[in-house]
Structure 1
Amino acid sequence: MTETEKAPICFYYGNGHLMELAEYPRVVLQPDFYTEGELKYLSDQGVQTLGYLTLSEDTGPPAPWQRTEKNPDWGGTFVHVGHPGWVEHVVGQAKAAMAAGFHGLFLDTLNVELTFPEDVPHLLTLVAAIRTEAKPAYMLANRGFGMLPRLAELVDGVVFESFSARWTDEGYAPWPPDVLEFHAQIAEQLLRLQLDLIALDYADTPGLTEFAIRRAHQFGMQCVVSDRALSRV
Structure 2
Amino acid sequence: MNLDERPPICFYYGNGHLVDLAEYPRVVLQPDFYSAAELAYLKGRGVQTLAYLTLSEDQGPPAVWQRPERNPDWGGAFVQVGHPDWVAHVVAQAKAALAAGFDGLFLDTLNVELTYPEDVPHLLTLVAALRTEAQPAYMLANRGFGMLPRLAELVDGVVFESFSARWTEEGYAPWPPDVLEFHAQIAEQLLGLQLDLFALDYADDPGLTDFAIRRARQFGMQCVVSDRALSRV
Structure 1: distance between partners of 2:149 and 2:132: 19
When normalised by structure 2's length, the TM-score is 0.99
Contact 2:104 2:134 in 1 (8 A): no
The gaps in structure 1 that reach 5 residues or longer are: none
Aligned length: 233
Matches within 5 A, 1:63-102: 63-102=63-102
Matches within 5 A, 1:1-233: 1-135=1-135, 137-233=137-233
When normalised by structure 1's length, the TM-score is 0.99
1:136 is displaced (CA, Å) by 5.1
Letter in 2 for 1:81: V
Structure 2: distance between partners of 1:142 and 1:133: 19
Structure 2: distance between partners of 1:191 and 1:42: 31
1:119 is displaced (CA, Å) by 0.1
Contact 1:103 1:136 in 2 (8 A): no
Contact 1:202 1:226 in 2 (8 A): yes
Structure 1: distance between partners of 2:82 and 2:211: 39
Contact 1:98 1:136 in 2 (8 A): no
- The SS at the match of 1:6 is coil
Runs of 4+ in structure 1 displaced over 6 angstroms? none
Identity %: 85
1:57 is displaced (CA, Å) by 0.2
- The SS at the match of 2:220 is coil
RMSD value over aligned CA atoms? Answer: 0.7
Letter in 2 for 1:104: G
- The SS at the match of 1:223 is strand
- The SS at the match of 1:225 is strand
Structure 2: distance between partners of 1:98 and 1:136: 11
The gaps in structure 2 that reach 5 residues or longer are: none
